[in-house]
Structures are given as C-alpha cells and as structure tokens.
Chains A and B, each alone.
Chain A
Amino acid sequence: MTRTFSRIVETVADFFLIFIIVFGIYIITHGHLTPGGGFQGGVVLAAGILLLLVAHGFSFARKIPEELLSDLEAIGGIAFILLASLGFGQSFFYNILWHEKLAFAEQVGRFFSGGAIPLMNLSVGLKVVAGITSGMFALSLFGGEES
C-alpha cells in the first residue's frame, strides 16, 4: 500500500505506544483504588492499538486473526459472569472473595484488596480491548480504495 504518513509519524507512534499501554494497564489494575476501571483502561489500550493501525496502514490489521480477538472477548465476558456468580450462596454479585477472606482480602486501600472487583476490572478490560479493536479492524478492512 502507499505510504500516506511520514516516517516521523510512524516513529512517534511507536515511541508513545509503550507509554499508552503502561498507562492503560495502570488504570485497569488500580481500578478499585483510583478513578478509572476496566472500561476506561480498556479504551486507552484500544486507542494505543488504533494509533499503531492509523500510523502504519491497514495491512497491519490482516496479521491478527479474527478468531483470536473474538475468543479474547468471549473469555472476558465469561470470566465476568463466573466471578459474579461465585457468590450464589448469598446473591448474584455477592463479593465472597472479600467477605470470606479468600483472596485479594487485604485492608481497604491496599493494592490486593477489594475481593472480586480487581478481577472483574481485568475481565472487563480484556473484553473492551478485544471488542473495540475488532470493530475498528473490521471498519479498516472493508471497502476503501487502498485496503
């Protein structure tokens, strides 16, 4: 395909990608302590991947198989529902990991606190990354003269 953006754009996108990914992972993993959470961090990560897509052209999107993104999104959704149904002894979404001190049960405000909430943030983040990325890959691959 023809190169429409200069080498400067490609280099800057490559350089800033690592910072965007680190920031997105930070937002997801600290979702129960600071503002943000699974959705916001997932959107930040997806924006990093889309930056790569826009800077390097659409042929990049062909290298990633669709089944991989579809499976990742399914894993995220299933993990969220399973974590929510762990507490069926009490009710749906009952945070049994926190109340029974099973895992992530440190004092409130520490990193390993919150019971199922950090794990749910991780699964929501995985689902959002895979969903937005696959949607944008589909948009970039269908139609257009340079695809």
Chain B
Amino acid sequence: MISVAAQMVIQGIVLAGIFLTALYALLQKDLLASALMLAAMSLLMSLEFYLLQAPDVAIAEAAVGAGVSTLVLVLGIRKTGRWEE
C-alpha cells in the first residue's frame, strides 16, 4: 500500500495536470487540439476518480468524457470550421 504522503504527491501531480490541460483547451485557437486536450483532461479526471477508489465512476468518466463527448466535438468541428475566429 502506498503511503499517505506519496498519495498526496500523486494526486497533486494529477490535479496539476487537470488544471494545465483545461487551461490549454481554453486558450487554444485550434478547436481540434482543444477537443483532444479536453479528452486528456477527462482521462486524468478518471485517473483521479480511480485514485479516490471509485472505479465505477472512473469507467463512466473515461467512457463519456474521453470517448463520446470528444467524438461529438469532433463531429461538430467537421460540420463547421477548425479555427476559432
């Protein structure tokens, strides 16, 4: 079993990754890169749920966040334009 301090460090790294990927997705003008970065944020979020011992929520978050919502955003980008005005 991992010690509490190591768990705090791992969760700090994961939360910093979530923050940075969300910031990148917000500031990016390329919408396709933004959608993929949101998928990465969802994946880190599901890792965080798994670390907090909720594997059921982790599977749902990975499937919905990294799977379906990314594909919906890519579908919308294919319908419209790739670059933010």
Contact = CB atoms under 8 A, between A and B. Distances in A.
B13 interface: no
Interface residues of A, number: 24
Nearest to B79: A144
Given A136-B68, A136-B75, 16 more contacts: A4-B78, A27-B59, A35-B56, A35-B59, A37-B56, A40-B59, A46-B68, A47-B67, A47-B71, A50-B68, A50-B72, A51-B71, A139-B75, A140-B79, A144-B78, A146-B79
A4 B56 CA distance: 36
B23 interface: no
Interface in A111-137: 132, 136
Question: Chain B, interface size: which category?
Answer: 10 to 19
A65 interface: no
B56 A36 contact: yes
B55 interface: yes
- A-B interface, 8 closest residue pairs, ranked by CB to CB distance from nearest: A47-B67, A144-B79, A35-B55, A43-B63, A50-B71, A35-B56, A40-B59, A44-B63
A48 to B, nearest CB: 8
A143 interface: yes
Contact of A40 (B60, B74, B79, B80): B60
B33 interface: no
A98 B20 CA distance: 49
Interface string B47-67: 000000001101110011001
Contacts of A132: 68
Contacts of A139: 72, 75
A54 interface: yes
A38 to B, nearest CB: 11
Contact of A143 (B56, B63, B64, B79): B79
A80 interface: no
A84 interface: no
Nearest to B64: A43
B63 A54 contact: no
A143 B68 CA distance: 20
